[in-house]
């Protein structure tokens, strides 16, 4: 079966920086619903269109096509007493941005006596990356998956 709209695609992937250092790789295959549902980088989805099991893609992605540009306004200084006593650099918390839009994931980047610096940027934002993947499985999506706009089951989304 070829990858096309409303197929569930299972891949294994590796993401490296432009110098070749490993940033991320799949420990096990991951699945997404193909067809413009924003479940994977759009250029990766475009490159996978029409592929079959065993096919590989190898892309160099600019920040805007991968983890986004780095946004200074997503770095915030918060009072230390708003966090648990055992807080450490690298911990992540879900919070609302200053403008009150939808919640996002913040990473603690610095801890001072009475202040904590949190960063809402993805750790790889602002970086160009080298994305490689292999197609492990392709199947037709169920009506539920299409309705929910994501893959269900073994390597996809499990809850609502």
Handedness of CA 10, 16, 17, 18 (dihedral sign): negative
Bigger pLDDT: 155 vs 29:
29
Tokens 């499990």 belong to residue: 158
The partner residues of 127 in beta bridges, in order of sequence, read none
pLDDT tens-place string over residues 3-47: 999 999 999 999 999 999 999 999 999 999 999 999 999 999 999
**Residue 65 token pair:** 């096509």
SS3 129: strand
pLDDT tens-place string over residues 101-132: 678 899 999 999 899 999 999 999 999 999 99
pLDDT band at 153 (very low <50, low <70, confident <90, very high): confident
Cα–Cα distance measured from residue 31 to residue 42, given in angstroms and rounded to the nearest whole number: 15
Q: CA-based angle 123:3:148, to the nearest 5?
A: 65
Cα–Cα distance measured from residue 49 to residue 59, given in angstroms and rounded to the nearest whole number: 14
Which residue ranges form the domains of the chain, and what is each CATH number?
7-67+125-148 (3.10.50.40), 72-119 (2.40.10.330)
- Return the half-sphere exposure (C-beta side, CA atoms, 13 A cut-off) of residue 94: 3
């Amino acid at each position: 079966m070829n990858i096309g709209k409303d197929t569930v695609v299972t891949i294994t992937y590796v993401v490296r920086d432009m110098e070749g250092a490993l940033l991320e790789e799949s420990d096990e295959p991951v699945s997404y619903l193909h067809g413009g549902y924003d479940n994977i980088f759009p250029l990766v989805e475009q490159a996978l269109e029409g592929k079959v099991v065993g096919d590989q893609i190898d892309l160099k992605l600019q920040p805007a096509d991968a983890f986004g540009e780095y946004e200074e306004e997503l770095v915030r200084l918060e009072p230390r007493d708003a966090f648990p006593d055992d807080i450490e650099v690298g911990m992540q918390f879900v919070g609302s941005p200053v403008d009150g839009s939808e919640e996002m994931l913040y990473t603690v980047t610095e801890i001072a006596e009475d202040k904590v610096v949190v960063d809402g940027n993805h750790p790889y934002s602002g970086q160009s990356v080298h994305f490689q993947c292999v197609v492990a499985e392709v199947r037709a999506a169920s009506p539920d998956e299409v309705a929910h706009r994501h893959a269900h089951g073994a390597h996809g989304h499990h809850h609502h």
